[in-house]
Amino acid sequence: MTATALALKVALGAALLGASAGLIGTFAVLRRQALLGDMLAHAALPGICLAFLLTGLRDPLVLSLGALGTGLVGVMALALARRWTRTREDAAMGVVLSSFFGVGVLLLTVIQKNPTGSQAGLDSYLFGEIASLQNRDVLLLGVLAAGLVVLFFVSRKELTLLCFDDGFARSQGWPTVLMDFLVMASVAVVTVLGLPICGVVLIAAMLIYPCAAARFWTNRLGAVAVLACLIGAVAGGAGVLIASPIVSAESTLGALLRNQSGSLPPPGPMIVLCGAVLFGFSTLFAPERGLVARVWRNHRLQRKVQREHLLRSLYELTEKQGPPTREISPAELATRYRAEPWAESWTLARAERRGLIDRNAESVRLTPSGAVEAARVTRVHRLWELYLVRHADIAADHVDRDADDVEHLLPPELIDRLEADMTREYPSSAAPEVNVPPSPHEIET
């Protein structure tokens, strides 16, 4: 088999493992059991060492059975610590994780002192080494991924309820213990099969990263699970290819990754780094929950708040003296619209560009369209003030600031209800958009 074919086969195996880890990791993360895979991986290390000491074989199947055995012992120890002691779950998980990993490192030291131990290569399980991945291993990972997909579609409703309201599921007589065991067993199988690829230290990242990244893109469980599958598969395949000569043979990336002896890093860390890159990309650029989108929404809200404060200030300054479009001096405006000079100048410039105001060096005034918008903004503010005075028992002379904090976020349905109440109390022949109720407090002019 050529190096290219071998790398592609290994990348396929890593992609299948990433898809499986992403799918089952979704339920582990949503069940707040994200570190369960990490604990299982560390608890599996003594099993790998014991299997080698007892059989003298480095067969992956034998080592995996040993890993699964001590992993299940670790789960039982965790369950006993939670059930019979006052130890919190996170503390119990940390105790089990570190204890089993300590035993595993001790057994590795014993194996290394054995004349044949140095050739066993068990230390590769710490960070992963999948160059020896066989066709049967890829087939097994494919069967695992297909089985998890079938499990997801068959038990989607039950798993959804288990993740979000297991108390209701128990009250309906659903076998929550069996479903929980099914999820934990699936996590254990994925963890054990992923040890040769990512290693004990890094396998937990394959369970956590895909779901954590997918949550930034959608809130629907089905979409999160599918997206986590794709992210896990991409991270697994890309990590292997980057760590292979196919991509890094002569490239600048390969020159950066190679150590002094000229060898590339193991695929495990590269898979995790690819997952971290996808997580970072999702954190920054997801359309709804990404950091960039949130900053942009906050910026737009701040612009809206400043613009509406300016329009309401101009409306209230002209409410009792003259038409809404009369000219206001800068000194007069400063009595109502209090903002930093740069913010005031910036808001005035934006309002002028939108055609809401006309201004020169000595005055500013609302345009006809700006007067209508200012009346609408003032009406919403006073509707909310009246609601707070009547239903939240806030004093009329203190309600202005409270209304300022919320009025810009009122949903249209609530505004409609407030307008209906106002129409009954203040009947007017004026158009709704300019029917502004009186302020419940004295306005400084």
296-324 pLDDT tens trace: 999 998 888 889 889 988 888 887 776 77
DSSP state of 432: G
Residue at 445 is within a domain? no
User: Cα separation of 444 and 251, whole Å?
Assistant: 70
Whether residues 275 and 396 share a domain: the answer is no
**What residues make up the domain containing 169?**
3-252+265-289
Higher per-residue pLDDT: 64 or 3: 64
Cβ atoms of 399 and 440 within 8 Å: the answer is yes
The total number of structural domains that make up the chain: 2
pLDDT of the residue at 164: 84
Residue at 443 is within a domain? no
pLDDT digits (tens, 9 = 90+) for 350-373: 999 999 999 888 889 899 999 888
3-state helix, strand, coil in the chain (%, to 5): 75, 0, 25
398: CATH = 1.10.10.10
Cβ atoms of 67 and 86 within 8 Å: the answer is no
Tokens 């918008």 correspond to 373
The winner for highest mean pLDDT among 219-223, 294-298, 378-382, 429-433 is: 294-298
pLDDT band for 228, please (50, 70, 90 cuts): very high
Q: Which amino acid does the sequence have at 427?
A: P
Cα end-to-end distance, the chain, whole Å: 86
Whether residues 244 and 310 share a domain: the answer is no
Higher per-residue pLDDT: 260 or 56: 56
Residue at 258 is within a domain? no
Tokens 């599918």 correspond to 226
Whether residues 323 and 179 share a domain: the answer is no
pLDDT band for 210, please (50, 70, 90 cuts): very high
149 pLDDT higher than 60: yes
pLDDT of the residue at 376: 85
Residue at 259 is within a domain? no
Whether residues 177 and 302 share a domain: the answer is no
The pLDDT mean for the chain works out to: 81
131 pLDDT higher than 80: no
Token reading at 29: 């993360």
Whether residues 233 and 308 share a domain: the answer is no
pLDDT band for 253, please (50, 70, 90 cuts): low
Whether residues 241 and 343 share a domain: the answer is no
pLDDT of the residue at 256: 67
Residue at 68 is within a domain? yes
Whether residues 282 and 423 share a domain: the answer is no
Whether residues 39 and 159 share a domain: the answer is yes
Token reading at 421: 């109440």
Whether residues 11 and 90 share a domain: the answer is yes
221 pLDDT higher than 60: yes
Of the candidates 365, 388, 266, which has an alpha carbon nearest to the alpha carbon of residue 310?
Answer: 365
Whether residues 70 and 211 share a domain: the answer is yes
pTM of the model: 0.76
pLDDT digits (tens, 9 = 90+) for 66-108: 888 888 888 788 878 877 777 787 788 888 888 888 898 888 8
pLDDT band for 112, please (50, 70, 90 cuts): confident
The winner for highest mean pLDDT among 30-34, 49-53, 245-249 is: 49-53
Whether residues 199 and 321 share a domain: the answer is no
Residue at 440 is within a domain? no
Going by C-beta distance under 8 Å and a sequence separation of 6 or more, which residues neighbour residue 379? Answer: 419, 433, 434, 435, 436, 437
User: Cα separation of 20 and 23, whole Å?
Assistant: 5
Higher per-residue pLDDT: 109 or 223: 223
Q: Is 166 exposed, middle or buried (0-12, 13-18, 19+ CB in 10 A)?
A: middle
Whether residues 243 and 317 share a domain: the answer is no
